A and B are shown apart, each in its own frame.
Chain A
Amino acid sequence: MDVIYKIMDTLLPFEIFRFTFMKNALLAILLLTPLLALLGTMAVNKRMAFFSDALGHSALFGLGLGVLLGISNVTVILVSFGILWAMLITRINRAGGASADTTISVFSSTGIALGLLILSGNGRFSKYSAILVGDVLAVTQGDILWLALSLVIGVILWAVLYNKLLLTAVNPQLAQSRGIRTNPVEYAFVILVAVAVMLSIRWVGVLLINALLILPAAAARNIARNARQHAVYSVLFSVFSGVCGLCISVPLSSSVGAAVVLCAACIYAVTLLLSRILRIRLQA
C-alpha cells in the first residue's frame, strides 16, 4: 500500500490528497465505479433500473437482519442477504402474476419497512443512518483490498457472462437454441449485480447506489453506437463523476455520494442534449 500511496503523491500533488483517508477514498472510488458502470450497461438494456433500486433499498433490511442475528461483519451480511433477496425478486418475477414494476415496488417498500422497523427499535436508528448516505471517507486499507479483489473477480465474471446475456436480452428462445442456458445466466447476472451493489453500498449509501449503477450507463447509451462504446463511455463517465464528486464535496464537507451522483446527472443531461443534436443533424 505504501508504494501505491507514494505513486499517488507523485501523480496527485494536490493539497486535498495529502491525507491518507483521501487517498483511500480515491482508490475506493476508482475501484468500485468501473464494475458498477459495466454492470449498469446491461441493467439499463434489460430495463432493470427498478430492480437494482429495490435491491439497494433492501440493504436496510439486510443490516437489520445482521443486527438481529448478531452478525457483526456488515459486508458478509449485506452480500449474502443481497444475493438471496435478488434471487427472490427474480424468482417471483418469473412466476408471472403482477407486472414486473409492481412486484419490484412491493419488494422495495417491504425491504425498507422491515429494515426501518428493526433498526429503529429502541430509537437507535441514528446509529445506523450512515448506511443511507454512505461514507467513502471511512474506507480502510483492508476495505480497499477487498474492493480490488471484487473488481477483478467481477470483471472476469462479467466477461464470461456478457455475450450470453446479450443474446438472452434480445431473444431468450434464440439464446436457448444456441445452447445458452438462459436461466443460470440470468441468475448469475442478478447475483453479480447484488454483490457489486452490496459491496459498494457502505461507501455510496442506500439512497444513491442505484444512481451510480444506472446513470453512467444511461448517459453512455445516449451517445454510444455499439456495445464497446457503451461499455467504454459508461466506465469513463462513472470514474470521472466519482473523482469529480470527491474533489468537489470534500472541501465543502458535504456528502461525497451526492456529489458523485450529481456529476453523473450532469453528464447525463449533456449526453441527452448531444444525442438530440446528433439525431436532428442526421435527419437533416
Chain B
Amino acid sequence: MSILAAESANPLIPPLGEIIIGLIAFAIVLLVMFKFVAPRFEQVFRARREAIEGGIERAEAMQAEAREALEQYRAQLAEARTEAAQIRDQARAEGQQILEELRVQAQQESARIIARGEEQLAASRQQVINELRGQIGALAVDLAGRIVGESLEDEARRSGTVDRFLDQLDGMAAGSPDGRPGSSVYVPEGNR
C-alpha cells in the first residue's frame, strides 16, 4: 500500500487479512494458555496450598503427638512412683520378716545351746554321782571301821550293807512327792 493510499485509508476499517492474522495469533495464545500454561500454574498453586496446609497439619499432628507423649511420661512417672513406694513397703516388710526370722533363729540357737549345756551338766552330774557313790561307800565303811575299832571293810563288802543303804536312799529319793528323780541328790551338791 503506497503512502498516498495510506493517507486515504480509514484506520477504523481494517482489512480482512489483518483480522484473520489477529485471530490466528490470539488463538495460538489461547491454545497454549489453556493446554499448557494455566494447568501448570493451577498445579503449582494447588501444590503450594497443599504444602502449606500439609505443613500446618503435620505441625498439629506433631503437637498432638508431643502432648500424648507428655501424658504418657507423666503416667509412667506416677506409676513408677507408686511402684517405688510399693517396693519400699515390701522391702520394709521383708526386712521386718528377716529380723523376726533371725530373732527366732537366735532364740532357737540359744535354746539349743542351753539345752546342750543342761545335758552336759546332767551327764557330768551323773558321772560325779557315780564316782561319789563308790567313794562314799568306801569312806563310810572306813569311818565306821575306825569308830568300831576294827576293819569292817571285808565284812561290809561281803554283806553289801553299804550298797543296800545307798539303794534305799535312792529309792526314797524316787518316792519323793515332787517326782523329780535325783533332785534330792542334786540339791545337796548345789549347796556344797
A binds B: no
